[in-house]
Structure 1
């Protein structure tokens, strides 16, 4: 017997996904997910997990609820770790209770992982505290969804008498009825109200009005779902308390294409600046099964003058193989070490190794030329790196007369995420910028977006080689001043400021 976890994915911002939710999702065999789960969460689903899309949105279900309940039970009975991934919180209008009824009846074990819920978080991202002792002492969460052809089963008079903040979920299409019901129940037509669309994401928008004018203002500004309605005096605080849109990258959705093992730091730095980040690794690093050439080099490590690393992945694979073969690291005592850039340098530092040489520009051409200037021509050099590495590096070193052993230790595979249609995202203008950290990430991106008009793609690139790769496909390219992640993020900030200046 397996087990089912009901996991709340939160309102959209991947940073609001709970630590426990992320841990459970990482170990999933089967993921049953809804349409309202944020893209940033969907990209965290393990590549080997089996996916079942039940596509639930208000009024549109790909699979009836009773079938969803049975799928959860059946998959767990097969011995699987089943994650039922829901937008928001499983128990707040998420029908989690109905799913647990069947699991309990059939004796299937389960756990519930609560999620950050939109009636609290979305107003917070819009500068609206749902309670404030100067305005109200309660908050009430109501579903704005009603069954077709039926009247609301809502006691509007009771809600008005609470004098608290009212939050209506799934109420955009019923906004006129909701506002009318509240006014007929005695609410002041000038009561402040807000409609908040796509909260916590780059597409976040809000309209502040009154309950008598909210429908007209929402229509005028073409507000779209998903959206929530907030009614109460606290809505007047949004102008003073709004903070999210003041972040330097707020309103931008950025695609990050680094290998999965390197992507989190880049994504975290962009999120700190307010961007919505879509983490879609376009390449993956796979150590070669046959490491015989590297193992031959291990037997004579102390004979090399230089050990050259051209990527963090090269460092990872090298040290992994050292451990497997139980090679004593002290044999590197007289060997000088070169690193292509800051990322590689940091990987070495994690192992207590300080690079003897880092080029002024972090690319293979510069590494080759500048390292060559330090050689006498009698050196023996080992370069453990990707199967398809920069040829200029070796050529520059060999010009000096040095003996260079170029040893492939890993290969780069291209990949894409089946849950996100990257091509469609760009065609609809949903993504403002893509970040490339190597030429191989450009090639991986192109492979996963076959047929896209690349002139629509704005690309922030690290280094000349990465920019050249993007230029070759006709992208709108920009290059960071330095080949570092911090410099790349500074470039993205500069581009956004420039766009705001001209708009």
Structure 2
């Protein structure tokens, strides 16, 4: 073992909704060298973990069985003893039936420093997303969280008589399989069989399901609907409020499945907006970008044009690396292809002099010429992606405008694992490259006519139609407009 000891952070990942991850948890995850996670940590949270961090899945092995607790303890001790910063990422809160205490005891015995970052427990959060307030002064005066999970070979050890006498809200975790015995025990102890009860599966996640019934019927409901873990079971009068206070299933995109094809970093805004509206979003990045070396000598040009927000980012990165700043753009006119590109410029203290009415290269060039802002006396330099569409350049050259094209980043395609596209209502494409990258993943073996493609602009839609996709184009070439279009067409289909 190394002399230098690392540190372990026992972190609660919350119930599943990535936005319920605490600020401290997110910060600790970013600073980790190793992350040891279990099966209850949602895919949306795992997708936020930087690629350079070592990730160890202890939720299941090749036999699809949980990794034994003693083996998880050994992994934590081993990685920390190598001097590494380790995050043990657990669903919910690590101290609410999460066996977090067992893991820390071994670390303490071996002198490994640790910290605990609490998480939002699903016992409360899943109920809230199902419209069930776990306490309400008109219905109960106490809340009790009980586990229905026991060690192998042991029997349930629940004091049913005491629970019934308390007349509070009862929340059972890890109890899907054992609840027939639990329900029987509660009824035998004197609880009214008609007591309101509910089961919430995959609480706070887009695929959440809830079933509200009576205590005497809940075991049957669980079986008939094939409810599986993770799920909580709530018993108490507060369950009667579920329909009245349900807000989650009423979100406009609840039940809508979306596949997002853009690069992970640039898709964050789109994915976040969709998830907030209730959509189940799978990130399926089809392209990647890499910076190219280029010259930032702009002294002989009167107009600078940026055709993407990424191009702005790359340009200023190069500018700062060259010990320069935005003053280098003094006395230059700046054009941005759309509002997102203009917003990125503003982050660097530059307000675009021109943004076209429609966010694409064709309208950018034609509107600049029509307005007289650019004439044959001007020299134009365009910073953009390598192999981007030539429409913008050709329009300028056909109108005798001196134009220099500078490639500042290149786009490559990613070979993803195949997925079943029939599972998705919509697939989003934020560029022509995303369409081509998506097709690259499938080697033309997919029936593209089954795809409802949400496209950010006409150029992207043209590429999607070339493959036979059903195209739906956002009203403007922005992420917000794409989201609005998805809501519009999805709600239209529900009517």
Q: Give the TM-score, by structure 2 length.
A: 0.92
**1:282-301 pair list within 5 angstroms:** 282-288=286-292, 290-291=293-294, 294-295=295-296, 298=297, 301=298
SS state at 1:213 partner: helix
Deviation, structure 1 residue 382? 0.6
CA contact (8 A) 2:326 2:349 kept: no
CA contact (8 A) 1:280 1:416 kept: no
Q: Does the alignment pair 1:317 with 2:314?
A: yes
CA distance in 2, matches of 1:452, 1:87: 36
Greater alpha carbon shift after TM alignment, 255-264 vs 349-358: 255-264
Greater alpha carbon shift after TM alignment, 259-268 vs 7-16: 259-268
CA contact (8 A) 2:10 2:87 kept: yes
Deviation, structure 1 residue 482? 1.2
SS state at 1:201 partner: coil
CA distance in 2, matches of 1:126, 1:466: 39
Greater alpha carbon shift after TM alignment, 439-448 vs 81-90: 439-448
CA distance in 1, matches of 2:288, 2:490: 29
Deviation, structure 1 residue 445? 3.8
CA distance in 1, matches of 2:133, 2:64: 31
**1:82-93 pair list within 5 angstroms:** 82-93=86-97
CA distance in 2, matches of 1:314, 1:372: 23
CA distance in 1, matches of 2:447, 2:111: 52
CA contact (8 A) 1:28 1:49 kept: yes
Q: Could you tell me which residue of structure 2 aligns to residue 340 of structure 1?
A: 337
Q: How many residues align?
A: 487
CA distance in 2, matches of 1:487, 1:328: 32
CA contact (8 A) 2:305 2:380 kept: yes
Q: Could you tell me which residue of structure 2 aligns to residue 106 of structure 1?
A: 110
Q: Could you tell me which residue of structure 2 aligns to residue 470 of structure 1?
A: 464
Deviation, structure 1 residue 221? 3.6
CA distance in 1, matches of 2:102, 2:395: 67
CA distance in 1, matches of 2:225, 2:67: 33
CA distance in 2, matches of 1:115, 1:332: 47
Q: Could you tell me which residue of structure 1 aligns to residue 492 of structure 2?
A: 498
Q: Could you tell me which residue of structure 2 aligns to residue 483 of structure 1?
A: 477
Deviation, structure 1 residue 195? 0.9
Q: Does the alignment pair 1:54 with 2:51?
A: no
Pairing partner for 2:351 from 351, 354, 363: 354
Deviation, structure 1 residue 56? 5.0
* Alignment CA distance shift 1:456-1:36 (3 Å): farther
Pairing partner for 1:27 from 31, 52, 58: 31
CA contact (8 A) 2:326 2:350 kept: no
Give CA-to-partner distance per residue, 1:97-145, whole Å, 9 cap, x none: 1111111111112111111111100000011011111111111111122
CA distance in 2, matches of 1:29, 1:413: 28
Q: Could you tell me which residue of structure 2 aligns to residue 176 of structure 1?
A: 180
Q: Could you tell me which residue of structure 1 aligns to residue 271 of structure 2?
A: 267
Q: Could you tell me which residue of structure 1 aligns to residue 74 of structure 2?
A: 70
Q: Does the alignment pair 1:235 with 2:239?
A: yes
Greater alpha carbon shift after TM alignment, 105-114 vs 373-382: 373-382
Query: Unaligned regions of 5+ residues in structure 1, if any?
Result: none
SS state at 1:263 partner: helix
CA contact (8 A) 1:371 1:397 kept: no
CA contact (8 A) 2:131 2:247 kept: yes
Deviation, structure 1 residue 387? 1.7
Give CA-to-partner distance per residue, 1:448-471, whole Å, 9 cap, x none: 566555444432110012222333
* Alignment CA distance shift 1:60-1:323 (3 Å): closer
Greater alpha carbon shift after TM alignment, 389-398 vs 48-57: 48-57
CA contact (8 A) 2:12 2:93 kept: yes
CA distance in 1, matches of 2:40, 2:325: 52
SS state at 1:51 partner: strand
CA distance in 2, matches of 1:71, 1:91: 19
Q: Could you tell me which residue of structure 1 aligns to residue 83 of structure 2?
A: 79
* Alignment CA distance shift 1:107-1:458 (3 Å): farther
Q: Give the TM-score, by structure 1 length.
A: 0.90
CA distance in 2, matches of 1:393, 1:119: 56
Deviation, structure 1 residue 444? 3.5
CA distance in 2, matches of 1:446, 1:139: 52
Q: Could you tell me which residue of structure 1 aligns to residue 258 of structure 2?
A: 254
Greater alpha carbon shift after TM alignment, 217-226 vs 339-348: 217-226
Deviation, structure 1 residue 149? 5.0
Q: Does the alignment pair 1:217 with 2:221?
A: yes
Deviation, structure 1 residue 472? 3.3
* Alignment CA distance shift 1:240-1:110 (3 Å): same
CA distance in 2, matches of 1:3, 1:458: 48
SS state at 2:216 partner: coil
